[in-house]
Amino acid sequence: MSRFEGFGPEVQQWFEGLATNNSREYFTARRDFFEESIRGQMNALLSELSERFGGEVKLFRQNRDIRFSADKSPYKTNTYGVLYGSGIAAQGLYASISADGLVAGSGYHVMARDQLERYRAHVAEDDHGPDMAKLVAQAEKKGLEIWGKSLATAPRGYGTDHPRIDLLRRKSLSLGAALNFDPDISRAGGLRFVDTTWRAAAPVASWLDAHVGPSVLPGNRPRRGR
């Protein structure tokens, strides 16, 4: 396993160039740098952290799926991966690098219909719902942001005056934070940031694992990661 050494300012410049010229020509000419200093370092970061948290490293392809998209840009403008099956968040611990910096988080980025039903039922009831609200508030106090989409109004069957209506409106729920280039992201700083962010998001992720879990709909794969 390669040692994680951090992300230098050249990494930010590479992504800025890709955003300006998202083409096969740009990517191919700079592929060696991408493989070693970006994808290779993201793999090293996740692999090193997997020794602390457990879980299996999954890196995602840089190519975009453009079959059903009006945007035909061939490449994603971030490089990201997930630790699946860790001891603190079974559905995934997420990390991403882009021109905006290093991002880390956890939660349920997408929830299938049966997951949403379980999520809302447990958030609404008084046995477990207040605990979730408290855990989210604690994570926000630690500097994490809530990610994911919400309904514009209350979901069917729930009143707009419910004390946890903001959580009930959510269609997905993840928590995370970002670390900017300044001018780089060091080895120690990157590891510390991701470790701290994952641990801060873990209580919410654990609640979701305990009360929502993967989808059990026929033919529906578990929804993991961001």
In three-state secondary structure terms, 193 is helix
The predicted pLDDT at position 35 comes to 97
| pLDDT tens for each residue of 37-62 | 999 999 999 999 999 999 999 999 99
Phi and psi (nearest 5°) for 191? -65, -45
CA angle (106, 107, 112) in 5-degree steps:
145
**C-beta separation of 157 from 117 below 8 A:** no
The predicted pLDDT at position 226 comes to 40
Query: How many angstroms separate the CA atoms of 37 and 32, rounded?
Result: 8
What amino acid occupies position 38?
A: I
Residue 155: DSSP 8-state? P
**pLDDT by position in tens, the chain (length 226):** 589 999 999 999 999 999 999 999 999 999 999 999 999 999 999 999 999 999 999 999 999 988 888 888 999 999 999 999 998 998 899 999 999 999 999 999 999 999 999 999 999 999 999 999 999 999 999 999 999 999 999 999 999 999 999 999 999 999 999 999 999 999 999 999 999 999 999 999 999 999 999 999 885 554 443 4
Handedness of CA 80, 83, 89, 90 (dihedral sign): positive
Does the domain at 6-211 match CATH 3.40.50.920? Answer given as no
Pull the structure tokens for residue 190.
């990157």
Query: How many angstroms separate the CA atoms of 129 and 134, rounded?
Result: 9
The predicted pLDDT at position 225 comes to 39
Cis bond before residue 203 (omega within 30° of 0): no
Per-domain boundaries in the chain: 6-211
**C-beta separation of 202 from 59 below 8 A:** no
Residue 34: DSSP 8-state? I
The predicted pLDDT at position 98 comes to 98
The predicted pLDDT at position 219 comes to 59
Please give the model's pTM, rounded to 2 decimal places.
Answer: 0.92
